[in-house]
Amino acid sequence: MVRSTSPRLAPRPYAPGDGNFLLLDRASERPPTYGLHQATNIHHHAMKVDKASRAAANGQKPCVLWFTGLSGAGKSTVADLVEQRLQALGKRTMLLDGDNVRHGLNRDLGFSDEDRVENIRRIGEVSKLMVEAGLITLVSFISPFRSERRMARELLDEGEFFEIFVDAPLEVCEARDPKGLYKKARAGELPNFTGIGSRYEPPQAPELRLPADRLGAEALAERVIELLRQHAVL
């Protein structure tokens, strides 16, 4: 049996057969976080196989399609359809979805403004790695703050980042409420929920704006494909 020597930490209750344990902060009941300092003894190592050679091997122009918008706007649905069409065209892709990533890479993050910023910082870095691998990378995140979306853009070379605003008014998203999140937010069960308790900053000059309150997901996906054709990605 593992015992914590810290008054603020406690092991997760043991579940027979799970073979592991997780330390939790007693106050927050979340895994503890520790301040990390950037090392000063690390350097970039020049590799012989670079982004250009990986892109050539894949036979495509890698890029990031960054879908942003309110919860319920249809980001994941449209991104999924776009990826299906790209796959049918023989393209190599990866889709990073906000909910899915929080089950693994970002499961230690909550929904405070600070955690949202770190959420997008990590995804921006992962997206950069995917582009380095020569993939067309689809990112479906609310990503509410302009500064963080700009940070993700600046990680990439010119012409590799496409901001796609899946635009549906708050009242439309709330009426859809596919996950029941707006109802919980209105009841005070989800503090800092984007659009209710936390602000969303819409893009000012996205590469593409999708009127998700007027067109169906199939039509919106086709507009994304057309965008890629216009920019010689396809």
Please give, one letter per residue, the 3-state secondary structure of 77-138: HHHHHHHHHHHHCCCCEEEEEHHHHCCCCCCCCCCCHHHHHHHHHHHHHHHHHHHHCCCEEE
> Of 4, 143, 147, 198, which is the active-site residue?
143
- pLDDT score of 151: 94
Q: State what percent of residues in the chain have pLDDT above 70.
A: 81
Q: How many residues does the chain have?
A: 234
- pLDDT score of 49: 83
Tens digit of each residue's pLDDT (9 = 90 or more) over 44-77:
667 778 888 888 888 899 999 999 999 999 999 9
Q: What angle do CA 182, 184, 186 make, to 5 degrees?
A: 70
Q: Given 3-state DSSP classes, what are the helix, strand and coil percentages for the chain, each rounded to the nearest 5?
A: 35, 15, 50
Lowest mean pLDDT among 24-28, 69-73, 196-200: 24-28
Q: What is the pTM of this model?
A: 0.79
In the predicted model, is pLDDT for residue 233 greater than 90?
Answer: yes
Active-site residue 71, yes or no? no
> Is the sign of the CA dihedral 221, 81, 173, 119 positive or negative?
negative
In the predicted model, is pLDDT for residue 184 greater than 70?
Answer: yes
Q: Which tokens belong to 43?
A: 């350097």
